[in-house]
Copies of this chain bind each other. A is one copy, B any other.
Amino acid sequence: MASTYGTLFRVATWGESHGGGIGVVVDGCPPRLPLSVEDIQRDLDRRRPGQSRLTTQRQEGDEAEILSGVFEGRTLGSPIAVLVRNADARPEAYEHLKDVYRPSHADFTYDAKYGARNWQGGGRASARETVGRVAAGAIARRLLADAAGIEVLAWVSRVHTIGSTVDSGFVTLEQVEADPSRCPDPDAAAAMTFAIEDARRNGDSLGGIVTCVARNVPVGLGEPVFDRLEADLAKGMLSLPAVKGFDIGAGFDAVAMTGLEHNDPFVPGADGPTTASNRSGGVQGGISNGADVLFRVAFKPTATISSPQETVDTDNNPVTLEASGRHDPCVLPRAVPMVESMALLTLADHWLRQQATDVLGD
């Protein structure tokens, strides 16, 4: 069940970088939701490699096929299976990695855990695995939009030391997609692009931060005590490749505030209490409070670099690794739809759970 996520909106992903394909089964999507392959393709196209000069040059169309669960344009309530074939797989390009453990990759830990490993392009540990998540997230996006008007949007807010200025309440998808860096602050975007290209030239790589907002989230999503909304978001984000940190609202900055500085005062709103500030990031006590859900995800620099590195082989002997596989010098631009997908899956699950909670009259 390690590749299964969610309680009611439940997804099971499968596939390796260079096997027969990548896919996902979504079990628990409500019936009668309008859904087409285009709904899925739109998000897959934002994730696929080769979409700009900032990303890996592996060429994959990543064309989705819906195999089940949709009939005459609407969901049936039965499992929705989506398949994406691997097209530009070049296992032979990884032959030299067969007996080497790349630093800060999963080669060694997979070998140690499983005693078996698909060394072609990272196998299951490849970021290509996220195709299934993004496809499922696109279905969740459609559900959340149609059923509740919830909108999820992420963007690159930092690359290495380059920050940005973005108003999380008003930034749009068009602004995010306007630049290959997926940073909606044009000045910062230009600097990030330069830094990423510079890192690639230097055989190095960069990390960064993706910020994500969910707007129009109704009050009441999240299930204390263990399944708090922020707990499930944190799990979803830390389950993504290369993620090393998560915080919500004021997050790590809250540490240096006092209670008087941090508390969000309630004020009367048109439809009930609302908060004058949003240092809580839209959740209080594990439950959404109606404000924007706002969080940050920290990505480490890509482990694959083209500079030589010291490491060991599978016989525990020291070797020097000269990497040559196709890779992203900075995963941030392509990480944006991945972050959105985990947010969408988490919110769809909690929205459904709330439908099974709020069932009795007053």
Please judge, given known A-B contacts A20-B68, A207-B255, whether A272 and B316 are in contact too, CB under 8 Å: yes
Question: Is the beta-carbon distance between A284 and B104 smaller than 8 angstroms?
Answer: yes
Interface string of A249-275 (1 = CB under 8 A from B): 111101111111111111111001101
| Complex-state Cα separation, A224 to B13, whole angstroms | 11
Interface string of A210-230 (1 = CB under 8 A from B): 000000000110111111101
Answer yes or no: A46 CB below 8 A from chain B CBs: no
Partner of A298, one of B81, B160, B251, B279: B251
Answer yes or no: A4 CB below 8 A from chain B CBs: yes
CB closest residue in chain B, given A261: B301
Answer yes or no: A184 CB below 8 A from chain B CBs: no
> What interface size band does chain A fall in?
35 or more
Interface string of A235-253 (1 = CB under 8 A from B): 1111101011111111110
Please judge, given known A-B contacts A232-B235, A238-B246, A255-B299, whether A10 and B14 are in contact too, CB under 8 Å: no
Partner of A360, one of B32, B80, B234, B353: B32
Interface of A is mostly: mixed
Chain B residues near A3 (CB-CB < 8 A): 25, 27, 78-79, 224-226
Chain B residues near A300 (CB-CB < 8 A): 250, 254-255, 257, 262, 279
Number of identical monomers bound together in the oligomeric complex: 4
Partner of A65, one of B20, B32, B245: B20
Question: Is the beta-carbon distance between A280 and B104 smaller than 8 angstroms?
Answer: yes
Chain B residues near A266 (CB-CB < 8 A): 101, 103, 108, 310-312
Partner of A362, one of B32, B80, B250, B318: B32
Question: Is the beta-carbon distance between B4 and A27 smaller than 8 angstroms?
Answer: yes
Partner of A250, one of B30, B232, B244, B283: B244
Chain B residues near A22 (CB-CB < 8 A): 68
Chain B residues near A311 (CB-CB < 8 A): 265-266
Answer yes or no: A117 CB below 8 A from chain B CBs: yes
Pairs of residues from A and B, 6 with the lowest C-beta to C-beta distance, nearest first = A106-B285, A245-B247, A2-B223, A205-B259, A235-B235, A109-B287
